[in-house]
Amino acid sequence: MTRSVTLVTPSYAKDIERFTLQRESIERCGIDLPHCALINHEDMGLFAKIPFQRNLRLISTQDLLTPRFEARRLGWGRRRREIEYWRGRPPIHGWYIQQLLKLAAPQIVETEGIICLDSDTLFVDRVTADDFYAPDGRLYLFETEDDVDCEMGEWYIRSLKFLGESLRQRPVRRTTHSPVPMHRQVMLDMQAHIEKQHGVFWMEAMARAESIMEYSTYGVYARYLDKFQHTTPAHPNSLSLYYWFGDEMANQFADLVERVRAEKPKTVLINSNQGHPVSSYRTLIEQAWAIQDRENP
């Protein structure tokens, strides 16, 4: 059975240094997978100049968003005297636009597996399509129950309600991992379900609702509506090493190299929201690459 995946990363100018390191990590680890980067249209020229472009395809937001949603993206943070302020009402924050772009990826990705990751996820070992598929050929749905905080629990509950599912006998699960494998057909079916449920374009329905997150909504749909026809639940186990919060990043990630040596992850997420520059951890990522070189000559 052919197992095919495409890496998908939304990014923009302020994250270009992180994205460039991500691209370097992909090539440094010998990863031979297609990669689509979903880029703010005004930043396309900047991203076209970065190194490490093997198997990389840059996609403009203009190719994924309708003209109305592109205007709403451009309207965020504009002043009243700027024309973009009046064209894009109501505006949508770039953080949420990136969520919509991930879910819109089936427009430009034809592989069965769509592996979503943000610019702050780096590779420290080689991954292949097999890392995201179960032995029976179904794509993994990464979900956990033992690490759900209040915020993530609320996202899951909101997604259940948004998709019209009962809350009864529904354990709260965390689907916010990195990377996140998503099945192309499940994504398309979910979009159609949202439009039937809410009577408007799926992006509009999500933008109108409050705090409807992409990963929790996909996870709820795959589990309760698709009923695992195309996916199968799995714990991400040691695939990824996470640095989500400030207290985990104390002392400049002092334990990162030791954790890579002990846990043998293939990716490391260093949450960009914590504001650490790439220069504060680049050397550690290089040391992680050296560990893999020694252990996998």
Full strand arrangement of the beta sheet holding 267-270: 121-123, 267-270, 240-243
- If one counts every other C-beta atom within 10 angstroms of the C-beta of residue 190, the result is 22
Are 268 and 285 within 8 A, CB to CB? Answer: yes
Tell me the per-residue pLDDT of 200-226, one tens digit each, with 9 for 90 and over.
999 999 999 978 999 999 999 999 999
Q: What is the mean pLDDT of the chain?
A: 93
Q: Is residue 81 predicted with pLDDT exceeding 80?
A: no
- Cross-strand partners of 10: 38
Find the angle CA(93)-CA(246)-CA(268) to the nearest 5 degrees: 80
Q: Would you place residue 73 in the very low, low, confident or very high pLDDT band (cuts 50, 70, 90)?
A: very high
Average pLDDT estimate for 52-64: 98
Q: Would you place residue 55 in the very low, low, confident or very high pLDDT band (cuts 50, 70, 90)?
A: very high
Considering the entire predicted model, what is its pTM? 0.94
So where are the chain's domains? Answer: 133-236
Termini Cα distance of the chain = 29
